[in-house]
Amino acid sequence: MNLIGNIIWLIFGGLFVAIEYFLSGLILCATIIGIPFGIQCFKIGIFTLMPFGREVREVPGETGCLSTLFNIIWIFLGGIWIALTHLIFGILLAITIIGLPFAKQHFKLMSLSFAPFGKDIY
């Protein structure tokens, strides 16, 4: 079931969104200051390719003051807008019965894209 969900996800926009995350990651990695943020874009992009069957978890040992600071910077530099976009798409898809599994994936992406530092994908 996860394979079918991932294939449908890729066909109906998941691939396009992943490419956007990868391009953003490349642009951010072009500067030394943006490398940590670019790595998070790559992490979200890989998760966007196949979100079914995977989950986002907090990493208890790696949440320190640096990851908190980076999450705050991430939120102010665009993370809030990315998370709101996933929230809106999740709500729109949750209105229909067929879109419920895809809405759940957008809500998972929203939690990761709001504050990606200190989180891991399993």
d(CA 46, CA 63): 21
Tokens encoding 29 = 């990695």
Q: What whole-number distance in Å separates Cα of residue 58 and Cα of residue 8?
A: 28
How many residues are there in the chain? Answer: 122
Q: Is the pLDDT of residue 63 over 70?
A: no
- For residue 59, pLDDT over 90 is answered with no
Query: How many domains does the structure of the chain reveal?
Result: 1
Domain extent for 80? 2-121
pTM for this model (two decimals): 0.88
Enumerate residues 6+ apart whose C-beta is below 8 A from 65: none
Q: How far apart are the first and last CA of the chain?
A: 17
Task: Give the rounded percent of residues in the chain with a pLDDT score beyond 70.
Answer: 98
